[in-house]
Amino acid sequence: MSAVRQSANGVFSMNGREWSLLVACLLAIVIFSVASPHYATSGNAATVLRNSVELLLTGLGMTLLLAMGGIDVSIGIVMGLAAIAIGRVLGADGNPALALLVGPLVGALLGCVTATVVVLGRVPAIVGTLGLLGVYRTAVFVLLGGQWLSGLPSSLTNVLATTVLGVPVPALVIAIAYLIIWLALRRTPYGLHLLAIGNSEEKARLSGIPVIKTRFMTFLISGFLTGIAATFYVATYRNVEMTIGSTLALDAIAAVILGGTSILGGKCSLIGTVLGVLLLRILQNGLLLIGVPSLWQPVVTGVLIIGVLGFEAVSNRLPLGLIQRARA
Amino acid sequence: MTEPFLVAKNIAKRFGALTALSNVDLEIRSGEVLALLGDNGAGKSTFIKILAGAHPPSEGELVIEGKSVAFSSPKDAASSGIATIFQELALSENLSIAENVFLGRELKRSIFGVPFLKRQEMRQRVDGLLKELDAHISDPEAPVGSLSGGQRQAVAICRALNLNAKLVIMDEPTAALAVAETRKVLALTRRLAARGCAVVLISHNISEVFEVADRIVVFRRGRKVAERLAAETNHEEVVSLITGAHPDVRALEKTN
């Protein structure tokens, strides 16, 4: 028992849920390899990993938000706004240094806006971020003037598409972000406070936890990560389209829940989120290659969310009183 | 007789036109278990909320170790050494025992300005507290959600002790517990007093009160109507004090 608990504290240690996700990933790879001759190629593996970058970064932020009993359905459009800012800077003078700064900065600022609405303004997170989503959607439309931002200079791409000691820059950034968040979550008071708030905000307050500061910080961190995601997005595609990020929040929430983080807060898994993202992207890519139109991707994601939460609800089906007592 | 830890002088509390509490004088001593008894609405809860800093009194003053204090929040009361263990324990079920005991006041060391938890030290301290209380909890790393009601009370008591509480207020700690668990919590209550804490216990169970209390104070209709040493009274007298059948209470209520 104590050995299990020890290992559960490791940076990449896994529990049953996480091992089964890994098995699911491998199983999906095997099935798609058999079903499609184009699947098991190094080029396609690179595509899947490439497509996972933004989702991994925003997924880490979403893990913290859900663990805290929060949520943010506006991350896709926040990434869009940050991407537009990056695109404008790039388009103006192509200076990659400035372009690298502007994404995280805009992301963090918009994170502060979300925190102001949800934390200081006490609007429930799901409603507050849904409201912001509406506002930002129009802002993106107005800023883009109904057109794509396209043909951006490759200066940012040249910086971010390189490798450091053989490791691609996106992988390095994700690894660093993962490590920092893992340390904050498991080794500092912040992590305890986050999980206590996720369990019960009122009890956390009675325990003397700085609830408002902790919640504000977490929305800020999520915004910052979304800004970094926007930077990789622009570097990769060198354009910003009207529909940017429209499925990002759905995908992130699905991946995080798949990974074993509780939608009700108080429990989370970072390694689970990473595996959840990979499984989601493997499924989306594989289905595409066996001829399922990309139109169906959100359907798959949506069904996955409902399936996972439905399965958990059924497998935990205890007398209602027991559940309430356990959560009280 | 030792100097009391806390003296309540002429405490009154009014909510608009409703007088919840009037003219309460009370001394709370270190190392002593003081039981507050009374019917529903007698003013016990209002009184402990004033002690806990949750309500300011409308009249009167609280004196702690000779100094007059005025609490504007539960935090003020806590920093004066008063810990309240509410019936619905403010514990996080998803965190471990050790984490709960230190929650909000973690031990940490700063590395490059980042506050890292001193998990080892916190675990050892909690282990020591649990042993000292003889709480029969072997693993301070176990999640609180896996504990029984009595064990959770023990964790809440540990938390109070770890905050260096000098007065621990327990609001019906055994209300939701099975018999064996109740025994353990009562033993814990005694051990708290033996450690030098002042303990204020609210209970509806008179035999329980006789088991642990040194002194018994009875509230009735917002007033303190009696104070007895537990050794100098009995079950029947206490019941008659609570119901108002006792001649002393009748006399008191006639004069007003």
**Alpha-carbon span B135 to B131, nearest angstrom:** 6
Chain A residues with beta carbon closer than 8 angstroms to that of B162: none
Q: What is the DSSP letter of A146?
A: T
Among B74, B105, B116, beta carbon nearest to A188: B116
Residue B137: inside a domain, yes or no? no
Q: Which pLDDT does position A327 carry in this prediction?
A: 47
What percent of chain A lies above the pLDDT cut of 70? 93
Nearest chain B Cα distance for residue A64, angstroms: 15
Query: Rounded to whole angstroms, how far apart are CA atoms B60 and A195?
Result: 41
Rounded distance between C-alpha atoms, residue B152 and residue A315, angstroms = 27
Q: Which residues of chain A fall short of a pLDDT of 70?
A: 1-9, 316-328
Residue of A nearest to B52 (CA): A206
The contact set of A with B (CB < 8 A) is 2, 5, 183, 187-189, 192-193, 195-196, 198-200, 202-204, 206-209, 266-267, 326-328
Question: Who's near A208: CB < 8 A, 6+ residues apart?
Answer: B75, B78, B103, B104, B105
Contact B172, B203 (CB under 8 A): yes
CATH number, position B35: 3.40.50.300
Look at residue B208 and tell me if it is in a domain.
Answer: yes
Burial code (b: 16+ CB inside 10 Å, e: under 16) for B104-140 equals: bbbebeeeeeeebbebeebbebbbebbeebebebebb
Q: Do A196 and B103 touch (CB under 8 A)?
A: yes
Residue located via tokens 């540990």 = B158
How far away is chain B from the Cα of A67, in angstroms, using its nearest Cα? 11
Query: Looking at CA atoms only, how far is residue A166 from chain B in angstroms?
Result: 29
Q: Any residues with CB less than 8 A from the CB of A191 and at least 6 apart, and which?
A: A184, A185
Residue B215 falls inside a structural domain: yes
Q: How many domains does chain B have?
A: 1
Residue B12: which domain range? 6-95+166-255
Q: What 8-state DSSP symbol labels residue A294?
A: G
From residue B205, give the alpha-carbon distance in Å to each of B35, B43, B173, B202.
Answer: 10, 17, 11, 9
- The alpha-helical segments, DSSP class H, found in chain A are 2-8, 16-35, 42-67, 75-93, 96-115, 125-144, 155-160, 169-187, 189-199, 201-206, 211-237, 248-258, 270-289, 297-315, 320-327
**pLDDT on residue A9:** 60
Distance from CA of A235 to the nearest CA of B (A): 32
**pLDDT in the model for residue B256:** 61
What's A295's DSSP letter? G
Q: Which two tokens stand for residue A250?
A: 């759905």
**Residue among B79, B82, B93 with most chain A CBs within 10 A, to mutate:** B93
Nearest to B116 among A187, A198, A200 (CB): A187
Per-residue pLDDT of chain B (256 residues; tens, 9 = 90+): 567 999 999 999 999 889 999 999 999 999 999 999 999 889 998 999 899 888 899 999 999 999 999 998 777 888 899 988 877 778 999 999 999 999 988 999 999 889 999 999 999 999 998 888 777 888 899 999 999 888 898 899 888 888 888 999 998 888 878 888 888 889 889 988 998 999 999 988 899 999 999 999 999 999 999 999 999 999 999 999 999 888 888 888 877 6
Return the pLDDT at A5: 38
Q: Please, how many CA atoms are within 13 Å of residue A24, restricted to the half-sphere of its CB?
A: 19
In a domain, B45, yes or no: yes
Cα–Cα distance measured from residue A1 to residue B23, given in angstroms and rounded to the nearest whole number? 56
What pLDDT was estimated at residue B2?
66
Those residues whose C-beta lies under 8 Å from the C-beta of residue A278, and which sit 6 or more positions away, are: A25, A48, A52
**Hey, are the CB atoms on A207 and B78 less than 8 Å from each other?**
no
Return the pLDDT at A328: 43
In a domain, B127, yes or no: no
- Indicate whether B58 belongs to any domain: yes
The radius of gyration computed from the CA coordinates of chain B, to the nearest angstrom, equals 19
In a domain, B146, yes or no: no
With 0-12 / 13-18 / 19 or more C-beta atoms within 10 angstroms meaning exposed / middle / buried, residue A6 is: exposed
- Please state, in angstroms and rounded to a whole number, the distance separating the CA atoms of residues A147 and A137: 14
Residue with tokens 């989306």: A284
Residue of A nearest to B119 (CA): A187
Q: Is residue B147 part of a domain?
A: no
